[in-house]
Amino acid sequence: MAAWLSSELARRAARRIAGELRRRGPAPWFPSSSTVPVVGPTAGYHRGFCSVRRFAGDTAAATATAEDSDNEFAAGDLQQSQVVDFPGGKLSFVGEMNFVPESQRERIKCYRVLDDDGGIIHSSRFQEVSKELALKMYSNMVTLQIMDTIFYEAQRQGRISFYLTSNGEEAINIASAAALSADDIVLPQYREPGVLLWRGFTLQEFANQLFGNKMDYGKGRQMPIHYGSNRLNYFTVSSPIATQLPQAVGAAYSLKMDKKDACAITYFGDGGTSEGDFHAALNFAAVTEAPVIFFCRNNGWAISTPTTEQFRSDGIVTRGQAYGIRSIRVDGNDTLAVYSAVHAAREMAITEGRPILIEAMTYRVGHHSTSDDSTKYRLADEIEHWRTARDPVSRYRKWVQGNGWWCDAEETELRNSVRQEILQAIQVAERIPKHGLTELFTDVYDQVPSNLREQQQSLLDTIKKHPSDYPTDVPV
């Protein structure tokens, strides 16, 4: 009984204090004198660090009404009419104890322009493309598709050691690249060779890298598909997942400091969002307001791990809002939708000085790499459905051909021409000599340190002792 009485007296005291605060109105904020009511056994005045201010809509009439009904005044009503400037932000109060739900009631919708038959969806809004641009985009998508097929077969023949395709994600590669400028900096993951193709990397340059010959810009040190080009503002691919994300923010911030009319874009898969670098990069970009585009290819699988085992949120797009980043979800198999989204994102990133997150919904038709057999964790019928019925290249071709810009004869000529060019590039790449083993120890230090010289000599001694265990086409 005594405890109940004490609690009731405390609540009444709090109501009286609240009424007094409302009559006095807002007061200047002083850390040493600001007071807030405390409910409970220690009711009274408590020194605080924030000021209590009413919303602009809080009228004198409302205040008078509250004074007349002081005994019936509810703490929740007071809280709903006030705003408090905490160091962490200006907040209003509610009397209800509501937890933020773990997800929204409805999933965030996906932006789309083309239907499955290549027709424009009624009332869809998108960035117009000229005939010349449309045909160049289609030609590059076909080239990427054929390039993947032939290089994959070359690996299976033992001519190169490793390969990774972009089958099913051609629209993401080419359409996003087409919406960028040559001055924009690209930090890829490893499934974006189409971006490099669009920028002017030749089929011969691709072949040289895969075979690691003397014409390879990486001097044969990188594993196949780790392309890179200073000339084309395309950072070299590296295997560690998501490390390129915070690097992209730094690159974008440097562009902002130099007042460049350009942005940075970085690509990653849904699996990359499970890395800490993803979260660090988004927060870094939001706080610095860096002009960077985060482009996530959500193809449903991180190698063999499905998204259902990676996260419980509504995909990736919701993560942007959590960090204060404008975001959009787009159909990654829709060439026009991807192009329009990246075009708009680039404009906002540069003119408004802000990061943008794009989640492109797609499907990885091929295996993760030549080291993977995806039929062990996916149904073959599912893969075939996406390869045929949902193919982004065929879908875009229907739109291009529907405009009268393309025909079957041009299709045959293009495919034959690209195939011959790639086969020729492979033959040339195979004949070009390899870099010497000494290149393994250069380009890191200005002066090679003693420990590396010792390692180099040890390697040469081992080769002399066991010559049959080392390739004969690599100069010693």
| Active site (catalytic) residues | 153, 239, 368-369
Bridge partners for 387 per DSSP:
none
- Strand duo 89-92 + 82-86: pairing: antiparallel
Q: Which two tokens stand for residue 26?
A: 């807002």
Q: Closest Cα partner for 147 from 207, 231, 105?
A: 207
- Strand duo 326-331 + 305-306: pairing: unpaired
Residue labelled with tokens 């006030």: 82
Distance of CA 245 to the CA centre of its chain: 8
- Strand duo 52-54 + 82-86: pairing: antiparallel
Is residue 46 within a helix (H) or strand (E), and if so which, with residue range?
A: strand 44-47
DSSP state of 234: B
Helices (H), 48-109: 60-68, 75-80
| 119, 402 contact by CB (below 8 A) | yes
| 265, 186 contact by CB (below 8 A) | yes
Q: Which two tokens stand for residue 193?
A: 């060779």
What is the SS3 assignment for 13-45?
A: HHHHHHHHHHHHCCCCCCCCCCEEEECCCCCEE
Cα separations (Å) of 311 from 262, 318, 329, 464?
33, 12, 17, 52
| 244, 238 contact by CB (below 8 A) | yes
3 state SS of 287 = helix
| 319, 281 contact by CB (below 8 A) | no
- Strand duo 44-47 + 89-92: pairing: unpaired
Q: Closest Cα partner for 399 from 137, 198, 143, 111?
A: 137
As a whole number of angstroms, the distance between CA 350 and CA 292 comes to: 8
| 26, 51 contact by CB (below 8 A) | yes
Cα separations (Å) of 357 from 31, 314, 325?
40, 14, 7
Distance of CA 148 to the CA centre of its chain: 23
Residue labelled with tokens 């994102």: 345
